Amino acid sequence: MRDTKANRSDSGIVVFVRFVFFVLTFFILLSLASRIIVPKSNRDLLYFNAGGIFSLPKNSLDYVVIGNSNAVEGFSPLDIWNGFGYAGYTCGEPWQNTAGSYYMLRTILKTQSPKVVILDTDTLYERKSTFSSLENDFSIAVQHYYSVFRYHNYWKKLGFSDFLMKENYTWHHVDYGHAVLTKINAYNGSKYMASTDRVQKMTPQMEYYLDKITNLCRDRGITLVLVSIPSPTYWSMAQHNAVAKYAEDHGLNYLDLNLNYQDYGLNWATDTRDRGEHLNCYGARKVSLYLGKYISENYRLSGHAGDPAYDVWNKDYASYFKYISTAAPTN
C-alpha cells in the first residue's frame, strides 16, 4: 500500500513537471515567434501611420496624441509645430477603444518620454455589446504581449532579415501621424450639444483602462489631458458630462472642443469630410492651433523653434502647407 501511494505521488509530480515544462516551452516558442513575425519595418507596424513614431529620435517629443480615427484626422502636429515649436505625434488606430489607447501609450513610452499626453475621449465609448467589448479588450492585451497574434498574416512577407530579427525603423511619416484629407462634405444637422443633466456613463471596462492610463501618466510624471474632438455624429452633452465628472474626480484637465467651436472658427460647411463624423485637414488645422495655444498657456513646454536638430520639422511643415494651400478640395 505504501509503495502504491508513493508511486501515485511520484506519478503526479511527473505529470505536474511535464505540464509546467510544456507551458514554459509553449510561451517561449510564442515569444520567439512574435519576435520573428513582427514587421521589421516600422511602416508596417501598428495602423494608419502610427508606426512612424519609431523613426524619430528617442525622447524627442513634447507631447503625443492617442485615440481613434477622430484623433488621426483631427490633430495636426505640424500646425502646432509651426505655431508654437512643440514636437508631437498623433498615434491612432481605427475604432481604438480605451484598452487600445492604454497599450498604445505603453508602446510609445518605450522610446519617448512626452511631458503631455492628449487622449481623444471618443475612445471611451465603444459601440459594441459588453461581451464583444470584453472579448476585444482581451484580444488587444494578448496582441500587445504576443505580436504573432497581431501580425499573423505577415508570415507571407517573411524574409531572411526577419529571422535575424534586425529592425529597420527608418520610415518617416512627413505629417507625423496626421491623415491630411481635403475632402469636404458639410454637416447640415441641428445643434448637438444641447444642455442636459443626463450622464452617459462609460462601461466599467472602459473606465478601468482609463484609470490605468491616468495612473501610468502619473507614475511617469506625464500630464494627461482629455480632449473631445468636434464630432456631431459621435459626441453628445451626456458624454461630456460623464468625462467632465471623471476629470474633476481625478484632477485632470478636460477640453471639450465641441462646446466652443465657433471661438476658433470651425465651420461645419467646410471643415468636415463626412457630414460631421470626422474633420478634414482644414478643420484639423483650426483645432490644432487652438490646442497649441491651450498647451502654451497651461503647460511648461520649452519648444524647439530654431533648434537645428529639428530642422526636418520645418521642411515637413513647408511641404504640408504647400499641399493644403494648393490642393483642390474634393466633394
Reported as a single tens digit per residue, the pLDDT across 58-114 is: 999 999 999 999 999 999 999 999 999 999 999 988 888 999 999 999 999 999 999
d(CA 36, CA 120) in angstroms, rounded, equals: 33
Question: Would you say residue 148 has pLDDT above 70?
Answer: no
Question: Would you say residue 152 has pLDDT above 60?
Answer: no
pLDDT of res. 1: 47
Average pLDDT, the chain: 86
| Lowest-pLDDT range of 42-46, 113-117, 263-267 | 42-46
Task: Please state the rounded mean pLDDT for residues 156-169.
Answer: 67
One-letter identity of residue 94: P
Buried b (16+ CB within 10 A) or exposed e, 54-71: bbbeeebbbbbbbbbbbb
Which positions ≥6 away from 182 have C-beta within 8 Å?
280, 281, 282, 324, 327, 328, 329, 330
pTM of the model: 0.86
Reported as a single tens digit per residue, the pLDDT across 200-216 is: 999 999 999 999 999 99
pLDDT of res. 193: 94
Please state whether 195 falls in left (phi above 0), alpha (psi between -120 and 50) or beta. beta
Task: Please state the rounded mean pLDDT for residues 271-278.
Answer: 94
Q: Is residue 162 very low, low, confident or very high in pLDDT (cuts 50, 70, 90)?
A: low
